[in-house]
Structure 1
C-alpha cells in the first residue's frame, strides 16, 4: 500500500511527504517508521512533526519553538502527501481540533495533496468518526450487541462528508458496531475496511485496493426500530467489494 500511496501522490517524482504521528503512543518512532517505508519505495523527501507535544506547540514564550511551529505549519500546507499512521484516532483529533494544523490539512487537500492514513489514520478522514469506545459495553470482549446509543462518535477531519469509516474490519469482527452506526445514522454510508486494504477516493468514487475486502452498509430507507434498547431495521443494504472494484460515496 505504501508504494501505491507514493505513486498516486507523485512524491516519487517531486514534492515531499509529511507524517503526522499524533495518533501514536510513540510518535517519534511512528515518524521514523513512515520515513523508512516511504524512502524504500522511492520517495525522495519525507518530514514529520508531532504537533501534540507541548514543547513543539509554539504556545510558550520560546521564540524558537514558535518559529519551528510556524515553519512546520507552512511545510504541512505545501506537502504533496500527508500521511497519518495508526494509533488512537481520538488522540489525533484532540491534538488538531480547531488549530492551524487542521486548517493546513484542509488547505493541502483542497490544493491537490493526497491525504492518506492507516487504521486510526483512516478513521479520522470522515466528518463523524468512530472512536472504538462503547458507551454501554457488555461483559466480555468485542462488540456483542446491536444496541441503541452504544457506539461513541466524535468529530473527525471532515475530508469525507456523509461517510463513516471503520478499520481492521473483517479481521477484528466489527460488523455489529458498524451495523449499529448505520442504523442510527442513516444519512451516512458506513464503510468497513479490512486489514492490508484501502479505498482510493477520487471525487465521489471509491476504489478498493490491497489484499482483502471492503464492506459497505447503508440504512437506505432511514427507518429504525427500538425494543428494550435493541436496534432493528429492514432492508438495509450491505455490499462486499473486492480489490479493483468501485462504489459510489453518494
Structure 2
C-alpha cells in the first residue's frame, strides 16, 4: 500500500511540473484563486521556477511587469526577472539572453499584439524562447496580446457583432509558436465568434481557437489541449468544410462556410489536436 501511494504521488507531481504552453484569453484572475497563474508557476517548476516576464506589449511595461513580478513572487517562484524591452536592440541584451537560456518559464503579458511582434519578431531573444518552448524545455504563457501572437498567422484587429465577412478581421504575421492554430482572445466577452469565423474562412487549414477571459487553453506536450479557468474555449475546425465563397466575396459581403465543426469546451475538457476530437 505504501509503495502504491508513493508511485501515485510521483505521477501527480510529474504531471504538475510538466512543461506546457498556456494560451490565456486575458483578464485572468489575479486576486482570488489565481488558478491559471498558479498553474503556470507549477508547470514552470513551482518553488524552483525561474520565470521571465516580457511586458513589452503594454504601453506601461514597467507597471505591468512589476504587477506580475509581485504575483509570481507571492506564489513562491525561486527567481523572477522582468525582461523590460523597449526597442529591438533591447532583445539582444546579453543579460536577458543568458536568463532565457536558463529559465524554466516565460510569461508574455497583454497589450498590443502588433507592438509585441514589432519589438520581438525574429530577434535573438524571441527566437530562443520559441525554440525552447517548442522543445518542451520551458513553459510559456501568453495572455491577451500574448495569446494572439502564438500562431504563424495572427488576428491583429477587427470588429464584432456582424456576420462573418472578409472586411471584419485584420490579419498579420504572428510569432509562429503554435503554427497550426489561429487564436482570438476576450472571446465571448467581446462577441468575437464572427471575427474568428472570418479568419478561419481565409485560412481553413488552421484550427480556430477562441478563448474567453479568465480562461486558458493549455497545450500539452502530448498533443492535447486542456481547458482551465471560468470560461469556455471555442474550437472552429474547417477540415471538413465543403464550400466557401471566400475568394468571390467582396468587402462586407457575408461569407458562406459550409460544414464547419464547432466545439465549446468547458473546464477540464480536452481536445486532441491529432484526431481533431474533443474529449470530456
**TM bucket normalised to smaller:** 0.7 to 0.9
Pairing 1:4-15 to 2, within 5 Å after superposition? 4-10=39-45, 12-15=46-49
Deviations 1:128-149 (A, max 9, x none): 1111246xxxxxxx35241125
- 1:208 matches 2:227: yes
Q: CA RMSD in A?
A: 1.9
CA-CA distance at 1:159 after TM superposition: 1.4
Three-state SS of the structure 1 residue aligned to 2:239 is: coil
Q: Structure 2 CA distance, aligned partners of 1:2 and 1:184?
A: 33
Deviations 1:81-119 (A, max 9, x none): 000110011110100112112222123312510010111
Q: Structure 1 CA distance, aligned partners of 2:82 and 2:131?
A: 17
CA-CA distance at 1:44 after TM superposition: 2.4
Gapped regions of structure 1 (runs ≥ 5): 59-65, 135-141
Match of 2:169 in 1: 151
Match of 1:93 in 2: 117
- 1:224 matches 2:244: yes
Match of 1:114 among 139, 143, 151: 139
Three-state SS of the structure 2 residue aligned to 1:244 is: coil
- 1:243 matches 2:267: yes
Q: Tell which has more relative contact order, 1 or 2 (C-alpha 8 A, sep 6+).
A: 2
Answer whether contact 1:166 1:191 (CA < 8 A) is retained: yes
Runs of 4 or more off by more than 4 Å in structure 1? none
Match of 2:181 among 163, 176, 200: 163
Q: Structure 1 CA distance, aligned partners of 2:207 and 2:136?
A: 25
> Which shows bigger deviation, 93-102 or 80-89?
93-102
CA-CA distance at 1:77 after TM superposition: 2.5
Match of 1:28 in 2: 62
Answer whether contact 1:197 1:211 (CA < 8 A) is retained: yes
Answer whether contact 2:214 2:229 (CA < 8 A) is retained: yes
CA-CA distance at 1:215 after TM superposition: 0.4
Q: Structure 2 CA distance, aligned partners of 1:154 and 1:143?
A: 21
Match of 1:139 in 2: none
Q: Structure 1 CA distance, aligned partners of 2:152 and 2:254?
A: 26
- 1:57 matches 2:90: yes
TM-score normalised by structure 1 residue count: 0.86
TM-score normalised by structure 2 residue count: 0.78
Match of 2:72 among 38, 57, 79: 38
Three-state SS of the structure 2 residue aligned to 1:171 is: helix
CA-CA distance at 1:39 after TM superposition: 1.1
Match of 1:132 in 2: 157
- 1:104 matches 2:123: no
Aligned length: 232
Three-state SS of the structure 1 residue aligned to 2:129 is: helix
Three-state SS of the structure 1 residue aligned to 2:116 is: helix
| Greater helix content | 2
Gapped regions of structure 2 (runs ≥ 5): 1-35, 275-280
Q: Structure 2 CA distance, aligned partners of 1:218 and 1:181?
A: 12
Answer whether contact 1:86 1:117 (CA < 8 A) is retained: yes
CA-CA distance at 1:190 after TM superposition: 0.2
